Chains A and B, each alone.
Chain A
Amino acid sequence: MEQFASLAQGFAVAASPENFVLMLVGILLGVIIGVLPGLGGANGVAILLPLTFSMNPTSAIIMLSCIYWGALFGGAITSILFNIPGEPWSVATTFDGYPLAQQGHAGIALTSAFTASFVGALLAVLLITFMAPMVANFAVRFGPPEFFSVYLLTFCAFIGMNRGAALKTIASMTIGFALAAVGLDTVTGQLRLTFGFTEMLKGFDFLIAVIGLFGIGEILLTMEEGLSFRGGKAKLNLKVVFDTWRELPRYWATSLRSAAVGCLMGIVPGGATPASFMAYGVAKRFSPDAAHFGKGKVEGVVAPETAAHAAGTTALLPMMALGVPGSPTAAVLLGGLLVWGLQPGPLLFIEQKDFVWGLIASMYLGNIVGLFVVLSGVPLFAAILRIPFAIIAPVILIICAVGAYTVHSSIFDIYLMFGFGIVGYVFKKLNYPLAPLVLALVLGDRAEDAFRQSMLLSQGSLAIFFGSAIAGVLTTLATLLLVWPLLAALLTKVRGAAARS
């Protein structure tokens, strides 16, 4: 059980006074980001990333991951009080959270949501603590072919899991690949897709894409609804909190199931949003009175919040151990690691013990701190929403522009971000998923490098992807996931035909 010793050391790193302050600042910023429309986990972290370039990597990742936890907590506040999901993963929370608030039980709904988030995260961190060293040991045996099969699995999982819009997922992903290919080809040194523009030499930075696609696009969507941003009052007293806490253990089965769904969706790159919907569905199916879901059931708040937080947390495990992010926010954090000069992957666990275990310890501490901050800060955060949207909207757009500029201190990036913003808005309207684009943009180059290195190893034979047990299993799994939508469609068709005859 060497992880206990490592973890204890990690706590010593994370609990140092300055890291603790950064943790608090991170959580506060994160909740604000989560509450405001247009700023979310992924682009919030992307905007603040350049500010941490001068910090030491451990402090920086502690602050950034706390922003992420804060955003996960914060999304629930607006969902419950105003029926406006501050984050995509809290859409499912509105189903039962808002009815509860309307019935005058906002306090119960908020306490349940926060506590559920906390439980989900805690279970996920426990999982990470025990699995991280194992995954790392396993991953040491990875070579280029194995890495390529992991990337392949990531991409195929996205296509296979987005039922209904597989074509749009593919389109969105290929755009990401194409954008990733722009610039200097690392193997041959040739210029690709630059069309003679010098600005395109360095390629597209995915941080700019994230800020534009998610930030600007989201603000435009919110704008569509008009400027009437209803404010409301909210208070949370201790009595309600304790009463709710006494009641919550009854839902242990729902919590465990949701946490399991969340952990799975986080490790297999699915992300927090599908996890929250899935957990809601599962909770409804297992509940004795499913008919009351959607009319203000505490379980309906507990399930999606637990799953979203569990998924959001476990998404960091493949990011650290393999360098494959499980969610857009994890992708942004991955970008941060590279900037700080840390190479994610199995060796990170051996060479950067302080960093890895400091981060894991900060997940424990950050979530405890987060729980207290959100429980005590609800009135403050609800007050932010009373600032008129006519002020919030331009300020958020300016913050996005500043964030895009600071990545490379380049004004051209602000223009790019503007373009990505329009694309983000149109894509959201037409149901093109954005996460695959971002993941492909981040992983495209690395996947291609892994593929070409494998080809050099095998002298151009594709059989290398079945050459080792790990690669073979992963490649087969990826292929299965890729054809799953086709298979499912075929099955329903066959079944329908059978039913008719």
Chain B
Amino acid sequence: MEAVVALALFALGALVMFDSARIGARWADDGPQAGYFPFYVGLILCAASAVTLFTDLRRSLARGHSFVSIGQLRLILKLLVPFAVFVVAVKPLGIYVASAVFIAYFMMRVGEFARWLTVVVPVGTVVLLFMMFERWFKVPLPKGPLESLLGLG
């Protein structure tokens, strides 16, 4: 994993250098051009990642410990996947509906909660959020079809 990240950062650095070279990374008469700073930033990033990659390759031959265990990964994905769905759902559904579904789903997925709790907690949280943002602080959040149906949007 260490190596993968180092490689990715190396690629990012190279990308930055490439784009900076396109708009001019030289030292003009009146000082640096627009791409001058980013170019060298990219170069340093590449160099630092290359060294990290190199030392890691040398070290990983001696060491067997892994980045994340399967059990840990499963736990994280249990939260991350529904969150990713939530992030995508904000646009079509509005943030309130998406939030309620996200909390309810996660509570059910984890289990150990009574059925009524998995309804009351999400709805309560969302109502509280709605009051706080739309009413007290007057900050409108993205809303979807349900809100316009209820005449709140």
Contacts and interface: CB of A to CB of B under 8 A. Distances in A.
Bound together: yes
Contact of B19 (A193, A227, A414): A193
A460 B87 contact: no
B49 A171 contact: yes
B111 to A, nearest CB: 9
Given A51-B137, A395-B125, A459-B30, A192 B9 contact: no
A429 interface: yes
Interface in A397-423: 397-398, 401-402, 405-406, 409, 411, 414-415, 418
Nearest to A453: B31
Contacts of B13: 174, 178
A366 B107 CA distance: 37
SS class of chain A's interface: helix, strand, loop or mixed? helix
A50 interface: yes
- Counting chain A CB atoms within 10 Å of each CB, the highest count among B23, B27, B34, B91 belongs to B34
B142 A187 contact: no
A220 B34 contact: no
Nearest to A398: B99
B110 A227 contact: yes
Contact of A395 (B78, B82, B103): B103
A392 to B, nearest CB: 10
B30 A192 contact: no
A226 B78 CA distance: 11
Interface in B114-137: 121, 125, 129, 133, 137
- Counting chain B CB atoms within 10 Å of each CB, the highest count among A398, A405, A426, A459 belongs to A398
A170 interface: yes
A192 B83 contact: no
B72 A181 contact: no
A77 to B, nearest CB: 23
B141 interface: yes
Contacts of B30: 455-456, 459-460
B142 A411 contact: yes
Interface string A177-194: 110010001011011110
Contacts of A455: 30-32
B11 interface: no
A335 to B, nearest CB: 17
A422 to B, nearest CB: 8
Contact of B76 (A223, A415, A430): A223
Contacts of A415: 87
Contacts of A171: 9, 45, 48-49, 52
B108 to A, nearest CB: 10
A178 B38 contact: yes
B38 A192 contact: yes
Given A171-B45, A177-B41, A460 B29 contact: yes
Contacts of B35: 192
Nearest to A431: B2
B51 to A, nearest CB: 6
- Counting chain B CB atoms within 10 Å of each CB, the highest count among A167, A174, A418 belongs to A174
Interface in B24-72: 27, 29-35, 37-38, 41-42, 44-45, 48-49, 51-52, 67-68, 72
Contacts of A393: 79, 106
A105 interface: no
A257 interface: no
A455 B31 CA distance: 5
A131 to B, nearest CB: 33
Nearest to B103: A394
Contact of B34 (A50, A187, A418): A187
A198 interface: no
B76 to A, nearest CB: 5
Contacts of B141: 402, 405-406
A390 B84 CA distance: 17
A487 B57 CA distance: 25
Contacts of B9: 171, 175
B95 interface: yes
B15 to A, nearest CB: 8
B34 to A, nearest CB: 4
Contacts of A223: 75-76, 78-79
A397 B121 contact: no
Contacts of A193: 16, 19-20, 38
B139 interface: yes
Given A414-B90, A460-B27, A430 B5 contact: yes
19 contacts: A168-B48, A171-B52, A175-B9, A188-B34, A190-B34, A192-B34, A223-B75, A223-B76, A388-B113, A390-B112, A398-B95, A398-B103, A402-B129, A406-B139, A411-B142, A425-B76, A451-B32, A456-B30, A459-B29
Interface of A: 50-51, 54, 167-168, 170-171, 174-175, 177-178, 181, 185, 187-188, 190-193, 195, 216, 219-220, 223-224, 226-227, 388, 390-391, 393-395, 397-398, 401-402, 405-406, 409, 411, 414-415, 418, 425-427, 429-430, 432, 448, 451-452, 455-456, 459-460
Given A171-B49, A224-B76, 11 more contacts: A171-B48, A177-B37, A178-B41, A185-B34, A191-B23, A223-B75, A223-B79, A388-B113, A411-B91, A418-B87, A460-B27
